[in-house]
A and B are shown apart, each in its own frame.
Chain A
Amino acid sequence: MRSSLARAIGLGSAREGVGPWWAERISAVALIPLTLWFAASIIAHTGSDYTTFVAWLRTPLVATLMILLVAAVFHHTALGLQVVIEDYVHSGAKFAAVIAVRLGCLALAIAGFVATLRIAFSG
């Protein structure tokens, strides 16, 4: 029931429009509780040895929150760094830099997932 104009507004020439803008805000809102939980947990673990730390990370709730944190952090980082690159890099290196940031963030996020799951499911 929407008019053609209403459907077109905000889409832009790429037809994706405000998608990345929303994604950056949604990941930002998710990161408020996740990063505060992480900061509080790290402070609470000051001086903890390896065994204590791994035992904490192995609990299902903590492993789940850690994976959510890594996912939200790198989604938000990729979006944020891409905007920074697009604002300051105007040479042909812009495309390469954006691709490098996206792939780098994806690789780091997957490494974070694998490490967390390895700890969670080990012995």
Chain B
Amino acid sequence: MSIHTAKRSRPLSPNVQIYRPQLTSVLSILNRITGVAVSGGAVALVIWLVTAAAGPQAYDVLQGAIASWIGQVVLFGTTFAFFLHLCGGIRHLVWDTVHGFELRSIYISGWVVVAASIVLTSAAWVISFLMKG
């Protein structure tokens, strides 16, 4: 009898697909998604160091891959994911000190994270472009 009870589909509590996306929930899941994305960047960091240690030929091959349009798109995405995770992470560290939990503070810090990530990503690419000359 207990087996039949377990197999019957039970009503589920409302989940993410029911609720309208809000800044709070979107930033929450983005912090996790960007964390996973930046893990890919961490793997790239090691590949980059290993090719540099292997010598100029291997390093040039990697530089060529990064300079390709797909490499630049991935690098741009990783840059934005990194800054969003960095700013979102600092927001979490502030929360860990039991500060900024009022609804108004949460929305202000949320929009600051979005704005800072866009500004930092843009600044990084503009300065890098200017450095190239």
A residues lining the B interface (CB < 8 Å) = 25, 28-29, 31-32, 35-36, 39, 42-47, 50-51, 53-54, 57, 66, 69-70, 73-74, 77, 80-81, 84, 108-109, 111-112, 114-116, 118-119, 122
CA distance A57 to B45 in the complex (A): 13
Some 19 contacts from A to B, beta carbons below 8 A apart, are: A25-B93, A28-B89, A31-B86, A32-B90, A35-B82, A44-B131, A46-B131, A47-B132, A50-B52, A57-B52, A70-B46, A81-B35, A108-B42, A108-B46, A111-B46, A112-B45, A112-B46, A112-B50, A115-B49
Enumerate B85-114 residues with CB–CB distance to A below 8 Å.
86, 89-90, 92-93, 96
Q: Which residues of the partner chain A approach B96 to less than 8 Å between Cβ atoms?
A: 25
Given contacts A70-B45, A74-B42, A115-B52, contact A39 B131 (CB under 8 A): no
Among candidates A28, A45, A66, A109, residue contacting B93 with C-beta atoms closer than 8 Å: A28
Q: Which residues of the partner chain A approach B124 to less than 8 Å between Cβ atoms?
A: 39, 43
Minimal Cβ-Cβ distance residue in B for A122: B53
B6 CB–A CB distance under 8 Å: no
The majority secondary structure among interface residues of chain A is: helix
B residues lining the A interface (CB < 8 Å) = 32, 35-36, 38-39, 42-43, 45-46, 49-50, 52-53, 56, 59-60, 82, 86, 89-90, 92-93, 96, 124, 127-129, 131-133
Minimal Cβ-Cβ distance residue in B for A50: B56
Minimal Cβ-Cβ distance residue in A for B63: A50
CB pair A73–B42 under 8 Å, yes or no, is yes
What's the least CB distance linking A120 to chain B, in Å? 10
The majority secondary structure among interface residues of chain B is: helix
Closest 4 pairs between A and B when the two form their complex, measured CB to CB: A115-B49, A115-B53, A46-B131, A118-B53
CA distance A68 to B106 in the complex (A): 32
CA distance A108 to B43 in the complex (A): 7
CB pair A84–B53 under 8 Å, yes or no, is no
Given contacts A70-B46, A77-B39, A116-B49, contact A35 B131 (CB under 8 A): no
CB pair B45–A73 under 8 Å, yes or no, is yes
CA distance A64 to B115 in the complex (A): 33
Minimal Cβ-Cβ distance residue in A for B125: A43
Q: Which residues of the partner chain B approach A44 to less than 8 Å between Cβ atoms?
A: 131
CA distance A35 to B87 in the complex (A): 12
CA distance A46 to B130 in the complex (A): 9
CB pair B32–A84 under 8 Å, yes or no, is yes
